[in-house]
Amino acid sequence: MGRQFLAEGDYERALKEHEKALSLGGRDTQQAESLFSIGLIYAHPAYPARDYGKSIGSLRRLIDEYPGSSLAEPAKAVMGLLQENERLVQEKEKSLQEKEKSLQEKERTLREKDKSLQENEKLKGTVEKLNIVIDRLNNTIDELKKVDIDVDQKKRERAK
């Protein structure tokens, strides 16, 4: 029944049937087949409750308890693929974390550049205002020089 439910895509019922077969005991070939099927069900991409750890556990049990089974080598192959898949998933996650960290650093750098640009614009405005004040002060100085010249000239004229 477990094989039929698995073929129909009814993973929960297939899992229950294979677990029931395990609990009842029986021939080694039936036990090994149930363990293999349970391993496949837990690894199946269409199974919503997919659990690679349980899949590997079931396959490892098959290999340990029934090493002479014709399913021991396929179980090793499936287990190897699952472990390699897990390693690749972890590498991908690590890479994504590194990319996220890099992106955050770039965003921080951009914020700092924006802040610097804003401060630079403020400083340009301040420099422009200071240049206007300097021009006014220079004009005032020039006017005061003219007044001094006029005062000196009048003093000379009076002294004559």
What pLDDT does 117 receive? 96
Give backbone dihedrals phi and psi of 91, rounded to 5 degrees, phi first. Answer: -65, -40
What pLDDT does 136 receive? 97
Q: What percent of the chain has pLDDT over 70?
A: 100
Global model pTM greater than 0.75: no
- The structure tokens listed for 109 are 């750098």
Q: Which of 36, 41, 34 is nearest to 17 (CA)?
A: 34
Domain ranges in the chain are 2-89
Distance of alpha carbon 81 from the chain centroid: 25
pLDDT for 159 beyond 90: no
pLDDT for 26 beyond 80: no
The b-or-e profile of 129-155 (16+ CB within 10 A means b, else e) is eeeeeeeeeeeeeeeeeeeeeeeeeee
Q: What is the pLDDT of residues 36-85, one digit of tens each?
A: 999 999 999 999 999 999 999 999 999 999 999 999 999 999 999 999 99
pLDDT for 25 beyond 80: no
Burial class of residue 9, CB neighbours in 10 A (0-12, 13-18, 19+)? exposed
d(CA 76, CA 154): 115
CA atoms within a 13 Å half-sphere pointing along the CA-CB vector of 2: 19
d(CA 133, CA 82): 76
What pLDDT does 24 receive? 86
pLDDT for 113 beyond 80: yes
Per-residue pLDDT band at 1 (split at 50, 70, 90)? confident
CATH architecture assigned to 2-89: Alpha Horseshoe (1.25)
Please state, rounded to an integer, the average pLDDT across all residues of the chain.
94
Q: What is the pLDDT of residues 129-154, one digit of tens each?
A: 999 999 999 999 999 999 999 999 99
DSSP 3-state assignment of 69? coil
